[in-house]
Chain A
Amino acid sequence: MGRLSPENRSRAEAIVALYPRPRSALIPLCHLAQAQDGWLTREAMEEIGELVGCTPAEVRGTATFYDMLHTEPVGRHVLTVCTNIACMLAGAYEVLDHAEASLGISVGQTTADGEFTLEEAECLAGCDRAPCVQVNHRFFGPLDPEGFDDLVEQLRAGRLADTVPPHGTLSRVERKVALPALAAKAAAAGSAPGGAKGQGGAKGQRRGPVPA
């Protein structure tokens, strides 16, 4: 836990290589680390900093801006209830109140067994199935309180393991194509990406002019 596994380390290096500047890979690498550990550990943030050429503090400072990135441990299933306008009009607060009562936790908390973290979300763009809920960013809806209980029951029993993968929105996303042309150009310009550089390193990694 913490540092990236050898397999994830090579995935991370491949992701960094996709971008003209390594720092652009910061968010994808945070998703990758979350897929591994469920949240962003201090060690992971340090390693991401090394990979993209910035300080661990910059990784943390960036990650805390984004709702999906967790800098503290969360449960195995993060239940995200949307209460924005379309879901609210469809009764989302009734679902959220019920969720708090039935799980015995408030929004932002995790059940004692580590199974569920409850979150309230802004619009998830699932308004045609309002009120909608995400579990590790997989959509369910429309849900009423009974439907919510049923969902929790199925998750607890492991019956949705195929539909709901572990954390990390990219856990099932795999880029199978390399970038021979562009990687070669970058190498020719003397800016092979992926190396751990100091803070100013990323800025100096501008690719030379390339004809369109």
Chain B
Amino acid sequence: MITDAPRIVTARVGREDSFSIETYLATGGYEGLRKALSMAPSDVAAEVNKASLLGRGGAGFPAGRKWSMLRQAPTRYLVVNGDESEPATFKDHMLIENDPHQIIEGTAIAAYATGAEQAFIYCRGEFALGLERLQQACNEAYAHGALGADILGTGYALDIVIHPGAGAYICGEETALLESLEGKRGFPRIKPPYFPAAVGLYGEPTVVNNVETVANLPWVITNGADAFTALGAGSSTGTRLFALSGRVVHPGWFEIEMSKTTFRDLIYDPSLGGGISGGRELRAFIPGGVSAPWFGPDQLDLGLDQDAVGKAGSMLGSGSVVVMDSDTCPVRAAWRIAQFFHRESCGQCTPCREGSGWIEKLMFRLEQGLGQEKDVDLVLDACDNISPGLSWPPKQTTICVLGPSIPSAIVSVAKMFPDELALHVKEGACPFPPDAVRRG
């Protein structure tokens, strides 16, 4: 069902100069921060906790709970993760370019609630325009008095630094991001300590929140937690941005009320995805980023709900849905995903560094029709070495979750498309048409 829920994070998108402070102030901008600063920091945190705002980066950890885990220390930091790199995820990119002030306001609210003395927004380096817009917004916010030494005349002081990345998927992993922010290679840190809330940036307690997560905060504070929890169902409250791509008529982002809307609505409704392009049939879809196990047409009526998707054996993850149609070679799709992980493995852990290469080569051989029947077992064995048991959620033999994310696509193909795999071997060639540019 498509509801008439308000647009929380995309209300300004589409307006002229939606990124300017004039537009922002004319549409209620910085009122959430003003209200937050009139409250005690602990009350702001309590309100966000009550809203049950789940982290929008991929793991779906409640933001309020993350804040409450912060170790007591004189110096605390807030880092906003804008290193969006999960394949087919482009929601944060859109928010950064179109409404940077909302991110700055949300960052300031989060910093106030958590007692952070300095905040960093780590923006993916490839978002050149986004970096310009964020820095411009930051400059404007200082001039307006919404950042700096005496915010909105309350005496509260905060500085935000816009920090550029330089091209590395792994830096979206929060401990790798902190290493990168410290000026080093983006190597995820060994756990424990499990959470930057205990040991984070420069060893100090640090909150790392996703861009979309903080973008929700001005609305949550202005309208209250009850208004937020009135949207969605269960623990999946509020709205969420979904990034739809692949073989659909209208690829794009959609802000949708959580839980109420189904994958079928998202993919087929004329106001959303508009159906499969070329009038073909749906073969499979990825429900939440390429780290997630795939779903088939039988799962279309599942709600866009974190718990429901989790129970069905996958994850809502980063909110990106990739649609594969009847012309899509599932083996090729899984190979390309494996190649991505192989290229982006940071190289610290042997199972991931070596395993991803083996998997990529085996999948390529199978896709090209050069494989043998036993290659399927071999590739699954390589997957099992990275994530023993090939269960969901995956078991881990590596420092971070990049490694255990690799088997998802491969296991999905082996389970859902054994006949298609066998056909590649039998025919000695890929039986599907090449992926061509859509014309007209």
Interface residues of A (CB under 8 A from B): 18-21, 23-28, 30-31, 52, 54, 61-63, 65-69, 83-86, 88-95, 121-128, 130-131, 134, 136-139, 144-145, 169-170, 172-177, 179-182, 206-207, 209-212
Contacts and interface: CB of A to CB of B under 8 A. Distances in A.
B184 A23 contact: yes
Given A84-B340, A123-B89, 17 more contacts: A27-B165, A31-B166, A61-B185, A62-B184, A68-B126, A88-B336, A89-B246, A91-B435, A91-B436, A93-B435, A122-B85, A122-B340, A122-B344, A125-B89, A127-B90, A170-B131, A175-B139
Interface string B120-147: 0000111111011001001100110001
B118 interface: yes
B439 interface: yes
A34 to B, nearest CB: 9
A144 B131 contact: no
Give me the 10 closest cross-chain CB pairs, A-B, nearest first: A91-B437, A67-B167, A209-B74, A26-B183, A66-B166, A68-B167, A23-B183, A86-B245, A127-B245, A123-B87
Nearest to A92: B435
A122 B169 contact: yes
Contacts, number: 208
B344 to A, nearest CB: 6
A130 to B, nearest CB: 6
Nearest to B346: A65
Nearest to A126: B90
Contact of B166 (A30, A125, A127, A138): A30
Nearest to A82: B87
Interface in B88-102: 88-90, 92-93
Contacts of B93: 125-126
Given A122-B344, A127-B88, A137-B128, A212 B135 contact: no
27 contacts: A23-B183, A66-B125, A66-B166, A66-B168, A66-B186, A84-B88, A84-B336, A86-B322, A88-B333, A90-B435, A90-B437, A94-B437, A122-B344, A125-B89, A125-B90, A125-B127, A126-B90, A127-B90, A138-B129, A169-B125, A169-B164, A170-B164, A175-B138, A177-B139, A180-B148, A210-B74, A210-B75
A88 B435 CA distance: 7
